[in-house]
Amino acid sequence: QEQLVESGGGLVQAGGSLRLSCAASGRTFSSYTMGWFRQAPGKGREFVARISWGGDNTYYSDSVKGRFTISRDSAKNMLHLQMNSLKPEDTAVYYCARSLIRFAVLDHEYDYWGQGTQVTVSS
């Protein structure tokens, strides 16, 4: 059964770093574009970053560009999000998701989601 499980969230002070991970089960992980989204309290789900199935193409939202880095290890079926210089406005539940669309950035372009991991950045 296909499954995505996020981990690595927590509480960190502003300016700190966290590394999120997403473990994917299933034999077709390497065939999918993978993305990270986040949802803050009272707000809609927001695109954060995505990486192509081969790992050769990445794309970030303007709000995280230069601070976050998305990567994948297809041999281990793992997706990561390195988050540096964290800000209080980065506080949200972070979700990983998969898509068959190479340059997917909209949440309806992703067909399978993890359960999310909470990131809280204190000021």
Distance between CA 9 and CA 75 in Å, rounded? 23
Task: Kindly state the percentage of the chain with pLDDT values over 70.
Answer: 98
Per-residue confidence band for 26, with pLDDT thresholds at 50, 70 and 90:
confident
**DSSP codes, 53-111:** TTS--EEE-TTTTTTEEEEEETTTTEEEEEE-S--GGG-EEEEEEEESSTT--SGGG--
pLDDT digits (tens, 9 = 90+) for 90-100: 999 999 999 99
pLDDT digits (tens, 9 = 90+) for 47-84: 999 999 888 899 999 999 999 999 999 889 999 999 99
Distance between CA 60 and CA 69 in Å, rounded? 8
Quote the pLDDT of residue 27. Answer: 65
- Tell how strand 117-122 and strand 10-13 pair up: parallel
- Tell how strand 112-113 and strand 92-99 pair up: antiparallel
Quote the pLDDT of residue 2. Answer: 78
Among the ranges given (25-29, 38-42, 79-83, 111-115), the one the predictor scored with the smallest mean pLDDT: 25-29
